Structures are given as C-alpha cells and as structure tokens.
Chains A and B, each alone.
Chain A
Amino acid sequence: MAIRDETRMLLETMGRLFEDKSTKKAVDAAETGVFAADLWQAVAETGVPLAALPESAGGADAEWEDLYYVLRVAGRFSAPIPLAETMLAGWVAASAGLDTVDGPMTVGPVRASDVLTVERDGNGWRLNGTASRLPYATNAQRIILIADGPDSEMAVALDGTGGAEVSPGKNIANEARDTLTFNNMRLEADNVRPLGDGVSRAGLYLRGALARAAMMSGAIENTLDLACTYAQQRVQFNRPISKFQAVQQNLAVLATQTAAAVAAANMGIMSLSKDLERQEFLIAMAKTRVGEAATLACEIGHQVHGAIGFTKEYALQLSTRRLWSWREEFGADPEWAAKVGSYFCGIGADELWPTLTAA
C-alpha cells in the first residue's frame, strides 16, 4: 500500500548518493560529452541497475516499483547516466537469456516509427534498419535491441555500437541520443534470441515512457525546490520576492503541478502489479499528465527565477532542459493523450467509470 520502510531506506540511500555524486559540476562535465564514469560506478556498486533481474541472472529480484521510485530520485538530480536504459536493457536481455554487463547499457528502439529486422543467415543472423536517437548509445558497453524476426520479435545484443553506422546526436540536455543504422550487419547466433514471456517492443516503449514520467516527476520536484528557495533569498523592493502574493500564487500553482506529476507517475508505477491492459492505459495517463505538468513547471520555475534562471551558471536549467527533452521521449504527452482517448472511446463511454475504478 503506502511506501514500505525498505523502499524508503533505498530512496534515502540513493538520494544521498546522487546528491554527493550527481552535482552540478558532474552534470556540466557530462554535458561536454565526457561520460560520468564516477557516478555510474557509484550507482553500479549499489546493484540498482540490474536489481530487478532474477538472482540467477545476476540481479536481486527487486520490485520494479521500487526501481521506478529510484528513477524519480535520479531525475531530481539530473543524473547524466543511462540508469533507466540499463534497467530496461537488463529486463529485455534477461527475458531472452542474453548476457548483461555491469557497465552502462542501453535499449531500443525508443521510437515507435523505427523499423528493425533480423533474418536468418546460415547459423547466424543479419540485422537491418534504424534505431533512432538511442539514449547514450555511444556510452553503452552493450546495446539490447528488439527487432522483428521471421516469426516473432527477437532480442539482439551488440557489444558497444558493434559495427553499426553511428550518427551521433544529443537532446537539449546534452544527453547522447545516437542514431544507429544497420546495413545487413552480421550477428552470431548467440546474440539473437526470442523474447521471453511478457516482453515486447510495445512493452519496452511503455516502460520507457513510465521511466521518463518517473524521472520527470523528480526533475519537477527539483524545479519547485529551487524556485521556492530562490524566491525566499532574492530581495527586491526591500522584501524577499516570496512575500509578494503574485509570486506566491505562481509557486502554489507550481506546487500543485508537482504534486500532480508525482501522483500521476505513482499511478503508472502502481499499475505494474496489474494486468497488461490496465498497465497500458494507466501508464499512458501517467505520461500524459506528467508531460502537462512539466510544461507548466518549466514556465513557472523560470518566471520566478527571472534572468538568473536563464543562465548556464545557475542550476535550474539542468532540470528544465531535461524536462523539455524527456517530455518528448518515448512518446510525447499529446501522443499518449490520444492513446488514452482512443482507448476509452473504443471501450465505450459507459465503461469509463467501471474501468477507472476497477482494482
């Protein structure tokens, strides 16, 4: 029901770690293109990135719910590492019996429109197609992709970018978003396996959207925290600007949007214990609502800060540039909103309330 004590302890531990290691200096350095290896190492040592895997696959059988709450904390500190991507790469790889590594991994495709196929070639395989804007692909030791096989979706493991044509890119938070193109790339039989039960490309997209929703809820919390702190320090007209009602009203709206973002992400996270159909619409609702909150939070966060918030030196932009990036990734909120609307129109108006309130 409510957050368990052990979850709370995990979140406190991870909060301290990120506060210590994911500093503005560390994030600034990562944004210049140097991977945050120290931060990654510290996070990897906690075992969190692969914790959800079964013990047999090197994990700890941890609850996925808990790991998404960790992603909120990572988002609060703008952690410039592929934590969500590694978790999800592990999820896909383990289901297919592919090996994972302790280093950073990534997973894809992350875009619904990408086409990736594998076909038989003797005892091996050939990979064709594009994985667009793959998070941290150039930083990943291993990349796990889902491709259409002859009969079903297949998991594919690459070491590094493993022979792909790489077109480096980045989001506006300077996180690597690299496009990988595969032209008949040869793969050994061991590196291509059928997906396990419950894992699919659509499921990956859904969980990726939930990961971004969780991270965004953390970045929004940080935006509120910075804005409230700044408003109480900044003096104009002989008063801290937090004493002006116009500013207070803005910050109150930001607080309501923060609360909604946290609750919406929770709604998505809690759906993981429910059937797939409920997961689909609840996570779609979560990404929709968190995306809406992100837009408003960035607007108010900057308005309260004035010019200083618009500088590179001040930390607000670490969160707002991530929010502007993440809200578009794994499906933007208007896209998910349309899915929510289509789903409920499809099942019919009279099913809306029974469906929303079912256990």
Chain B
Amino acid sequence: MNSFALADCSTVEAALSQLKDGAVVKAGGVDLLDRMKNGTDTPRRLVNIRNIRELRGIHATPDGLTIGPLTTLAEIAEDRGVRADYTVLADACGAAATPHIRNMATIGGNLLQELQCWYFRSADFECIRKGKEVCFAFSGLNQYHAIMDYGTCPSVAPSSSAVAVLALGGSVELTSAAKGKRTVAIQDFYVKPDANPHRFHVMADDELLTAIHIPKPAAGTRSAYQKYGEKESHDWAIADAGIVLEMDGNTCRRAVVAMGAASPVVRRSKEAEEALAGKPITQDTARAAGKASMTGAMPLSMNAYKVQLFPVAIYRTILLAAGQMERDPSATAVAS
C-alpha cells in the first residue's frame, strides 16, 4: 500500500473542502482498503467521512425514505420499517458479503464500490477500465462475467443494494462545495462501459454522496431480493434479482425486475416486466417473466450457465415477493 495523508472530517462541509487534489473518500473502507492493498488504487489523500453523524440514519419522510450514506448494511437489513415496506432493500443489504462486513460497510460505499472483475482487481492487468485498450476477460477466464449489455467490458455490477435501489426507483443526492446539491436517479447514476469505459458513475471528484432517496411504494406493493452465489457464505452473485410488484389483489399492476450480476450496470428487464404487467402472479407468469429476462443474452465462453440461472432467480424471487413461496428451495441461509 502507498503512503497517504488522512483527513478526518466530522461535517459534510469539512469533507467537501477536502475533496481536491485527487483525494479519495473513505467511509467504511471495506472496498477502498482492498484496492489500496492490491495496488489498483494509490490515492495520496484520503478523506475519512466515517464520523460524520449527519450522514448516518434511516429517516421516513412523507415521500418515502431518506437514507444517510453512512448507514451500515446491517442497520438497513435489520430496520423494521425497511423490512416491512422496502423488503427488497433490506434483503439486498442483508445478502451482501458477511455479517462482519455488513457491520462495517456502508450503503454509500456499497453503491460506489468498484467492479469485482479479477482482471480489474489485479495490478498486473492494465485493462480498458484503467484507461487502456484491452479487456482480458473476453478471451480469458469469464465464468462470473456478464451475459448481456456488456459492450467493451463484461464485468458485472457488484452492488447488491444498487439492484434494490433501482427496483424501488430510488435516487442519490450528490453534493459539492462549488455547485451545491443535485439529485440523480439511480438508473442515470452508473455509466455503461460503451458510454465511457473509464467511469463507473457520474459523480464528480469534488462531489460527495450525501443521501439516498427511496420513493414511497404504491399501495399494494410487495418486493423481494435474492442473490445466488456458488456458496452462500461470503460470495459474489452469479445471479440475482430485485423484484417490486404493485398488486391489485393477485393481479400485478406494475412490476419491476432488476438484475445486477448480468451486466456491467444494474439493469431492469422491460421484457420481464411486461410479461407480468396486468397479469396474476402464478408459477407460469413468474416463469415466463424469468424467461423473458434473458432476451438479448449473449453469454461468453464460460458463463452460459448464467443464462439458465437468471430466469430461475427471477421467477423464484417474483414468487417470494408475491408471498407465493416461503423461501427459496435451495436456500440454506435464514434471512437475518
């Protein structure tokens, strides 16, 4: 790890004033320290925002929820209100990493974590995401990589919570000293590799993520999130699904089907959503939606299995959300 200066800040203003000269923000430090240790990130200055109290907490507003970015994944996963009305978000935060990491990692850090592609994470590979020309995954080892919408980089979206925030139609509030606050919808927050392979999100260097807004779900909304790893303890998703269903009785008025591990940026499947809209939720409609979600899938040399896996994750999570399935048949873990 390189040497660096550390600025410890206890207010947003203090932190914003430090965001210059290539300074990097440290919240829980979970992802950042990993990148610094393996040499893929070498910041000269770190701005520690961990102790900014105003950035922590879950607040119910008339319009929905405002979540401080320093709220830990564990706090969100265990929050009664979130679990009741924003189940997909509680599930997603509770499915990330391990209990130890969830106690330390913040939702802001989770949304902003960088790609987990092993080529990107290795200092030995100078890939397109690091400003070079090449992607090593297409002709290399790609069993955990993307199956759709990947363009020049098939790394997958790493954040579980982003899938849930997308499914709930959430947005992030970005603040800078120069320009003040702006709000960006989550679907506009991440940058697709085809648009710009050198950027992961639209946040500027002098901006701080200061809030996550989740709109209040419509009446009759039910939701769920599931992540499949190769193992259940501490693994990355090989398939995942964030489902939000606006129900009238058993008829689905509107559905949101969000996925993370299929593509470089969290995505919604219009095809899957259309397969559910206006229909009752049944085994058949759920499976049809799962199947529809793979429209346009183009697996790489080693990950065709994911095309088979995603429809399963999606149909089962739809049934979970609709209350038609108690728990996933192969789940070992009991949700916290």
Partners in one complex: no
Binding site for B on A (CB under 8 A): none
Interface on B for A, CB 8 Å cutoff?
none
